[in-house]
């Protein structure tokens, strides 16, 4: 099931999309936002897989919002203006829906999003209880040991798996990787970062410090993840 948000400044457009989403079991509507600011807050507070995003909105357009996101979800643009289609696809949008949107066209677009989500999720394969997994990168399957991972960084449609001596870049969403990692060892502390708790050297203010072989990385702690991280840390304090 994909977690979905609608971002549109037209109440009627939101109502139509909501009614369509309700008809598809694979979609779960998490939030309805009337502007980009509300959408950004919803994205920070929830794990969103798919965003229906209007382009023409006051203050901040849908395109500007998408460009500002470090690790955006899948996006289907919705707009009354066909001239924005090219720019939408240049931003790797799944699809472009022209208003008024028919359910048939909506359904076709959603299926494309579901297939893309499944394809991204399939890029990582795990071998049972083994202490490693294989990830598809550079046209081959690369073996990655859990113990070697320092942290994972989200970068638009990709994730970067950082290790002490190397990094692996793969087409993958943060969400699809996060649900497959051992939650007792790996913790998401920011919309764009998952860390290996065993690699934490220190917590300084709103930053996690990870040091490996003389190299130190400071990783920001998102405000929506801070309390949970500190709770884990406090359980291990003497």
Q: What is the mean pLDDT of the chain?
A: 86
Residues 117 and 201 in one domain: no
Question: Among 121, 142, 169, where does a domain finish?
Answer: 121
Residues 7 and 116 in one domain: yes
Residues 114 and 196 in one domain: no
Residues 59 and 114 in one domain: yes
For residues 215 and 55, give the distance between their C-alpha atoms in angstroms, rounded to a whole number.
42
Query: What is residue 54's three-state secondary structure?
Result: strand
Query: Cα–chain-centroid distance for residue 41?
Result: 14
Q: Which residue(s) pair with 50 in the sheet? A: 4, 74
Q: Which domain holds residue 23?
A: 2-121
Residues 58 and 105 in one domain: yes
Residues 141 and 220 in one domain: yes
Q: According to the model, what pLDDT value does residue 72 have? A: 85
Q: According to the model, what pLDDT value does residue 156 have? A: 73
Residues 177 and 116 in one domain: no
pLDDT tens digit string along 205-224? Answer: 899 999 877 788 899 999 88
Residues 101 and 13 in one domain: yes
Residue 2: partners with Cβ closer than 8 Å, 6 or more residues away: 26, 27, 28, 49, 50, 74, 113, 114, 117
Contact of 75 with 53, CB cutoff 8 Å: yes
> Within 13 Å and on the Cβ side, how many CA atoms surround 63?
13
Residues 21 and 54 in one domain: yes
- Find the CATH number of the domain harbouring 104: 3.40.50.2300
Q: According to the model, what pLDDT value does residue 104 have? A: 96
Residues 131 and 84 in one domain: no
Residues 74 and 142 in one domain: no
The pTM for the full model equals 0.60
Give the residue, 175 or 150, on which the prediction is more confident: 150
Question: Among 88, 121, 154, where does a domain finish?
Answer: 121
Question: Among 104, 121, 138, where does a domain finish?
Answer: 121
For residues 116 and 93, give the distance between their C-alpha atoms in angstroms, rounded to a whole number.
11
pLDDT tens digit string along 49-95? Answer: 999 999 888 888 888 998 888 778 899 999 887 666 556 556 778 99
Would you list the DSSP string of 81-138? -GGGHHHHHHTT-SEEEESSPPHHHHHHHHHHHHHHHHHHHTTEEE-TT-SEEEEEET
């Amino acid at each position: 099931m994909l977690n979905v948000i609608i971002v549109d400044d037209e109440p009627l457009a939101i109502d139509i999309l909501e009614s369509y989403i309700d008809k598809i079991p694979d979609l779960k509507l998490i939030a309805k936002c009337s502007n980009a600011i509300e959408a950004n807050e919803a994205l920070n507070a929830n794990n969103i897989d798919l965003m229906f995003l209007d382009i023409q909105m006051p203050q901040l357009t849908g395109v500007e919002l998408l460009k500002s996101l470090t690790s955006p979800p899948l996006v289907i643009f919705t707009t009354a203006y066909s001239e924005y289609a090219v720019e939408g696809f240049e931003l790797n949008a799944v699809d472009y829906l022209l208003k008024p949107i028919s359910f048939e066209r909506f359904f076709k677009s959603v299926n494309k999003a579901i297939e893309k989500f499944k394809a991204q999720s399939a890029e990582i394969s795990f071998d049972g209880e083994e202490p490693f997994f294989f990830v598809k990168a550079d046209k081959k399957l690369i073996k990655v040991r859990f113990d070697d991972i320092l942290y994972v960084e989200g970068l638009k449609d990709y994730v970067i798996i950082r290790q002490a001596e190397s990094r692996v870049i793969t087409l993958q969403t943060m969400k699809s990787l996060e649900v497959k990692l051992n939650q007792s060892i790996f913790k998401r502390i920011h919309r764009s970062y998952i860390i290996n708790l065993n690699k934490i050297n220190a917590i300084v203010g709103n930053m996690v410090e990870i040091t490996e072989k003389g190299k130190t990385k400071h990783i920001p702690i998102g405000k929506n993840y801070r309390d949970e991280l500190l709770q884990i840390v406090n359980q291990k304090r003497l």
